[in-house]
Amino acid sequence: MTRLAMTRRGLALGAGAATLAGRAGAQAPAEVKVALLAPMSGPWARQGQLMKLGAEMAIDDINAGGGIKALGGAKMKLVIYDAGDSTEKAKNAAQRMVAQEPDIIGGTGAWLSSFTLAVTEVTERAEIPWLTLSYADSLTSRGFKYIFQCSPTADDQATKTLPIILDLAQRATGKKPLKLGLIADNTAAPQSFVKPIRATEAARHGLSIVVDETYTPPMSDATPLVQRVRGSRPDFLLFIATNIPDDKLFMEKLNEYGLGPGRLVTIGNGGHMATPELVHVTSPKILEGLMVTMANWAGKGQETLVRRFAERTKEPWMGQDSIMPYADMMILREGLERAGAADRRKVAEAIRGFDLKDTGPAQYFPSKRLSFDDRGRLRDATLITVQWKDGVPHPVDPPAIATATAFWPKS
């Protein structure tokens, strides 16, 4: 007991000393720490890996370009924390991050909305500016001041998804779909996505919901879900999951039942449904025609970025989960430059004051605009759609970033 207490005190003193050192060097720090807190283990680990690739590339680009000029060329340093596979682990990681890195000035994470909800409860209290690609509306409806949501919210996506899909169907087939199927997992973002569709949006567009199922991820067997889909025969299906294992199980089962995207138009949501893994663990045929809506994609105009990314990471394309953290690091750099100090509160203040168009970090967003409202939501957040074709997802909407034309599979 005594020895343990000693060790604890020793550690505490060590931490105190670190804080002092940080303060003394605040005039011209040699490096500024930013954080990536994302799932590096568990079912969401692949998303975390993709985020890491994007964030690391941004850090290298920033440091190669001379670091933070307003801080005398200070280098940016990325610290990575594993959010694990549960809300509790994510929050625990955030608490460790706050304790062990007293001088971080901002960060991004934690991919899954549920994790981000927990993580920002900690970062908000520590007043760390926190950027996130998570979708849930609840993230930015708690009155928090240090969170910046860089994606359209789930609510917003739900409202925007149906007109895009219906328009596409109309153009491709000349007929308007009438029956909608809904499958969603029970985590925060999918639930806040399906809620408005159930409540108002389906009715607004003259759609009747013929199947509506919720499951707890990770999925153990897709058969009962797919059987219900088959039994109710929707004209198109919204499948709102959050991880690749669930995507694989469900898409394979759909195909097994003869309901692949070639027969039944299926629309997914989120970066995980457009990762190279998904095609590796399934096949181009299974995914052919699958459409996925999400918050960002490196499309038209980002060719150089995508090529450099592919060269350094061997990843075939740069999707939402890599370009978003890349953009986040650029936002933090811009914030540091404007704040002129390695102070998290001043950086947050600078980010709140952003109103950028076509320049700086704004060029990494589909709307090419960067400005946050007082809740911390991105103004003009645009929903993008990609479609799988021959084993590769191509952005098909909005036209500003589209590299291919959408097609409505003919059954």
Strand order in 104-109's β-sheet? 75-82, 31-38, 104-109, 130-132, 147-149
Q: How far apart are CA 199 and CA 216, in angstroms?
A: 21
Phi, psi (5° rounding) for residue 382?
-110, 140
122 counts as binding another protein under rule CB under 8 A: yes
At its nearest, how many Å lie between another protein and the CB of residue 332? 21
At its nearest, how many Å lie between another protein and the CB of residue 94? 10
41 counts as binding another protein under rule CB under 8 A: yes
Q: Among residue numbers 134 through 153, which ones bind another protein (CB under 8 A)?
A: 142-144
Q: Among residue numbers 271 through 290, which ones bind another protein (CB under 8 A)?
A: none
- Which range touches another protein (CB under 8 A), out of 113-121, 258-266, 330-338, 355-363? 113-121
Tokens of 288: 């052919």
176 counts as binding another protein under rule CB under 8 A: no
Binder of another protein out of 29, 48, 67, 84 (CB under 8 A): 84
Q: Among residue numbers 327 through 356, which ones bind another protein (CB under 8 A)?
A: none
- Which range touches another protein (CB under 8 A), out of 81-89, 226-234, 277-285, 393-401? 81-89
At its nearest, how many Å lie between another protein and the CB of residue 187? 7
48 counts as binding another protein under rule CB under 8 A: no
Number of residues that bind another protein (CB under 8 A): 43
Q: How far apart are CA 324 and CA 76, in angstroms?
A: 17
Q: Which runs of consecutive H residues, i.e. helices, occur in 25-131? A: 45-64, 87-100, 113-125
At its nearest, how many Å lie between another protein and the CB of residue 340? 27
Q: How far apart are CA 50 and CA 289, in angstroms?
A: 23
At its nearest, how many Å lie between another protein and the CB of residue 81? 7
In DSSP terms, 208 is beta-bridged to 179
Q: How far apart are CA 84 and CA 365, in angstroms?
A: 28
Burial (Cβ within 10 Å: 0-12, 13-18, ≥19) of residue 166:
middle
Helix 154-173 and helix 188-196: axis angle, to 10°?
A: 60
Would you say 118 or 327 has its CB closer to another protein? 118
Q: How far apart are CA 220 and CA 407, in angstroms?
A: 32
Burial (Cβ within 10 Å: 0-12, 13-18, ≥19) of residue 382:
buried
108 counts as binding another protein under rule CB under 8 A: no
Binder of another protein out of 3, 4, 231, 374 (CB under 8 A): 4
Taking CA atoms, 159 is separated from 129, 152, 162, 382, in Å, by: 28, 10, 6, 12
At its nearest, how many Å lie between another protein and the CB of residue 124? 6
Binder of another protein out of 3, 5, 24, 399 (CB under 8 A): 5
Binder of another protein out of 123, 161, 187, 192 (CB under 8 A): 187
**Positions that interact with another protein (CB under 8 A):** 1, 4-5, 7-9, 11-12, 15-16, 19, 40-41, 80-82, 84, 86-88, 91-93, 95-96, 98-100, 114, 117-118, 121-122, 124-125, 142-144, 186-188, 191, 216
